[in-house]
Amino acid sequence: MAKVIVHIDLNAFFATAEEIRDSSLIDKPIIVGSDGRKGIVSTASYAARKFGVRSGMPTFQAKRLCPHVIIMPVDFRYYGLLSREFFAFVYKYTKNIEKASVDECYADMSEALRDVSDVVGYFKDMQQKLLHKTGLKCSIGVGPTKFLAKMASDMKKPMGVTILRRRDIPKLLHPLPIKDFYGIGRKTAPRLESIGIKTIGDLAKRIDDEDADLHSILGKFFYVIKDWVNGRGSDEIDVEPWDPKSIGNSSTFMHDTNDFVEIKDMISSLSKEVSERAKADRKKGTTVQLVIKDTEFKTINRSITFKEPTNDYDVIFDRGLSLLERHYKGQLIRLVGITLQNLIDPRDLVIQMTLFDYHKHEEASETKLLINELNRKLKKPMLIRASEVERGGSKNEN
């Protein structure tokens, strides 16, 4: 018997989060991202999308499309809190959850829906309860595979519920434009359109005919898509906690550049974003990677690894800048990226002191306890450690 796989996707998550924090923003065109010449739209509210604004668009372009758009800075720590609240809510319905990102998940609801006669009503009620409890809106897709559930959740936004069974594929999936096919990127879609594949139905027919042109364009992904478009594919939910191995940000320059100061400023901005995201996710890493893409789309990846895990902006920026200074040869580039890799949760770290450090720590603690006890008896903070006098003197001298 087919499983019931559900894809739950928060609608315009970052923008909705800002509306929750400030109700005066509700129904107004807002974007979450950075302003200025190098700014990029991270998320756009649905009011902004009506003007053609979309994620990944340069901020200056969004402002041209919608001159009265409101720009909000990214706050990953706040979004992380709301994300955890969202997943805690979904866990009340089923434990069989696979986190796909901070604002979406797959869930196996086969058991939970066993005795439910009105599936759409069940999920409508779920949406309303999430909205009432958290202020977050979501779209829900239901299907026998993860791919069909994902496609279904994209069909009605915001606050839609769509069921996409295998028998519904010709009616609901085939008429959609090829660019809406999950897994086919913005670069591949135009190539498919150039050989006459305008809709998912066109793709399904050509792929079943083992079209040679499709083989050439899709490569090893050909048979994965063939399964997906015919209602096959994975229905397995990975219930392991979603735990990214890296956190990265990249940005394309408005114009090709070899201006070292401009590139350095971009690395600084990206390092700050990576630091904020890592802190929001409670992650630290031991490797910083620099990515440079030149005007001929040649990509240079360089990284540096260190012993002490960090999510500190200064450290990330310093390592990224040192990689730039060492490996950048002055060519024109179009994109730069910074990634923090080999992530760990600091709470999982086991700090092992040497015997010397342990005794030093114990002695310092005992001394501090003794001084605190004497000060309490004297009823005045008259005594401090010599090391604290030294630190105080240094501060005064500076």
Based on the domain organization, do 29 and 112 belong to the same domain? yes
Separation CA 87–CA 265 (nearest Å): 36
**CATH code of 172's domain:** 1.10.150.20
The confidence score (pLDDT) of residue 238 equals 86
The confidence score (pLDDT) of residue 47 equals 96
Based on the domain organization, do 170 and 142 belong to the same domain? no
199 contacts 174 by C-beta, under 8 angstroms: yes
DSSP H or E segment with residue 388: helix 386-397
Separation CA 288–CA 248 (nearest Å): 9
**Among the three residues 224, 240, 256, which one is the final residue of a domain in this structure?**
240
Largest CA distance in the chain: 91
> If we measure between CA atoms, which residue out of 11, 13, 43 comes closest to residue 30?
43
Give the pairing type, strands 41-44 and 30-33. Answer: antiparallel
Based on the domain organization, do 287 and 334 belong to the same domain? yes
Give the pairing type, strands 161-163 and 138-143. Answer: parallel
**Among the three residues 194, 212, 240, which one is the final residue of a domain in this structure?**
240
**Residue 305, strand partner residues:** 287
User: In the chain, what is the straight-line distance between the N-terminal and C-terminal CA atoms, in Å?
Assistant: 74
Based on the domain organization, do 185 and 230 belong to the same domain? yes
Determine what percent of the chain is predicted with pLDDT higher than 70.
85
pTM: 0.68
> If we measure between CA atoms, which residue out of 364, 353, 336, 194 comes closest to residue 273?
336
What one-character DSSP code corresponds to residue 380? S
Calculate mean pLDDT across residues 81-95.
Answer: 93
Based on the domain organization, do 300 and 359 belong to the same domain? no
The confidence score (pLDDT) of residue 151 equals 97
pLDDT tens-digit map of 160-180:
999 999 999 999 999 999 999
Lowest mean pLDDT among 75-89, 113-127, 157-171, 375-389: 375-389
Based on the domain organization, do 294 and 332 belong to the same domain? yes
Amino acid residing at 179: K
**Residue 199, strand partner residues:** 177
The confidence score (pLDDT) of residue 253 equals 78
The confidence score (pLDDT) of residue 209 equals 92
What is the number of domains present in the chain?
A: 4
Task: Report residue 42's pLDDT band, with 50, 70 and 90 as the boundaries.
Answer: confident
DSSP H or E segment with residue 152: helix 146-155
Based on the domain organization, do 81 and 17 belong to the same domain? yes
Domain that holds residue 4: 1-162
Based on the domain organization, do 201 and 142 belong to the same domain? no
Separation CA 123–CA 145 (nearest Å): 18
Torsion of the alpha carbons at 11, 13, 14 and 18, rounded to the nearest 10? 80
Based on the domain organization, do 124 and 192 belong to the same domain? no
Based on the domain organization, do 5 and 149 belong to the same domain? yes
Lowest mean pLDDT among 159-173, 186-200, 314-328, 344-358: 344-358
- 104 is an active site residue: yes
Task: Report residue 318's pLDDT band, with 50, 70 and 90 as the boundaries.
Answer: very high
Based on the domain organization, do 210 and 251 belong to the same domain? no
Look at 79 and 69; give whichever has higher pLDDT: 69
Calculate mean pLDDT across residues 200-220.
Answer: 92
Cα 23 from chain centre: 24
Q: Which of 18, 98, 104, 276 is catalytic?
A: 104
pLDDT tens-digit map of 345-397:
775 554 333 434 434 444 554 555 566 666 655 655 655 555 544 444 433 33
Mean confidence (pLDDT) of the chain: 86
Task: Report residue 26's pLDDT band, with 50, 70 and 90 as the boundaries.
Answer: very high
| 3 state SS of 341 | strand
**Among the three residues 105, 129, 162, which one is the final residue of a domain in this structure?**
162
Cα 378 from chain centre: 55
**In residues, how long is the chain?**
398
